[in-house]
Amino acid sequence: MIRDDEFSRIATFLKGKYGIDMSHKKEIMNGRLENYVRAGGYKSFGEYMDAVERDITGNLEKKLVNMLTTNHTFFMREFEHFEFLKREVLPYLKRTQEVNKDLCIWCGAASTGEEPYTIAMVLKEFFGLEHPQWDTKVLATDISTEVLEHAVAGIYTEEHIETLPESWRRRFFKKHGDGNEYMVTDELKNEVIFRKFNLMEPFPFKRKMHVVFLRNVMIYFDSETKKELIRKVYDSMEPGGYLFVGQTETIDRSETPFQLIKPSVFRKREGER
Ligand SMILES: C[S@@+](CC[C@H](N)C(=O)[O-])C[C@H]1O[C@@H](n2cnc3c(N)ncnc32)[C@H](O)[C@@H]1O
């Protein structure tokens, strides 16, 4: 079992660098790391952390992040957001971006890819035959390299894709291997760009976003970290742009210039900078 001082060392490291607050999750941290630490031949969690901090390749730290992040997600999760995207947001963007036909859409905690691929399917369906004239590629980022590898491979079991409409399954997935796996088609893969990105870092984007999905990730951050992140997201967005957060998440309205459109959907006012 992890000792209190070892637990607090790892929790401090994780929060300082990645914003993830596990200060009340000792059991969970222990459960996720114990076997790995033992199998690695480390005499204690402390010795393991010494190794993580000494490792100049960064590989041990990468593995630590992979083990400690919670990556649960699924296709069509909180599907009301995708309906709203199709019904309200995309018609607005189609109208206002008619000249450039170029949308900037970012999914900031993409996990294993179900969320950005769902967004890409909505985009494909919405633009229909006009889609080839538009650039609507979705930027999908996450801090965990393991989930990103899964996302790029785009392989999911039959149960995973069950929540998708039949027509999308037929159009955007093909059978993979002899088992019950399916792979995202190249047509859809080409619509999503996966990159590793830590939300705690300064945002490197050259262009402002029209739509941001930042769902079910801020629950792992403390309120100060969250507040600072929301500020950065606001600055990174186009006026009139929309932000989706998880349906169980809240943004304190007194602390943000975002306009609340409906629970978990926010907007940067048109005309605002
Ligand atoms: C529970 S998943 C949410 C996935 C998806 N957005 C959804 O709503 O289904 C949270 C994701 O946030 C990622 N994450 C946690 N801290 C992060 C950070 N500092 N920067 C980027 N991604 C982070 C985790 O790796 C994980 O994949």
Q: Please tell me the distance from the alpha carbon of residue 175 to that of residue 177, in angstroms, as a whole number.
A: 7
Stated pTM of the model: 0.96
- 132: CA distance to ligand 1 center in Å? 30
pLDDT digits 0-9 by tens, 227-273: 999 999 999 999 999 999 999 998 888 889 999 999 999 999 987 76
Q: Ligand 1 in contact with 69 (CB < 6 A)?
A: yes
Whether 77 is in the pocket of ligand 1, judged by its Cβ within 6 Å, is: yes
In sequence order, what are the residues at sequence separation of 6 or more whose Cβ sits closer than 8 angstroms to the Cβ of residue 54? none
| Ligand 1 atom nearest to 107, measured from its CA | 6
Helix axes 145-153, 59-68, angle to 10 degrees: 80
Check: CB of residue 136 under 8 Å from CB of residue 191.
yes
* Spacing, Cα 216 to ligand 1 middle (Å): 7
Start-end of H helices in 40-105: 45-54, 59-68, 80-84, 90-96
Residues 13-49: pLDDT tens digits?
A: 999 999 999 999 999 999 999 999 999 999 999 999 9
Digit-coded pLDDT (tens) for 56-79: 999 999 999 999 999 999 999 999
CA distance linking residue 78 with residue 245, whole number of Å: 10
CB 81 less than 6 A from any atom of ligand 1: no
Please, what are the domains in the chain? 4-68 (1.10.155), 80-267 (3.40.50.150)
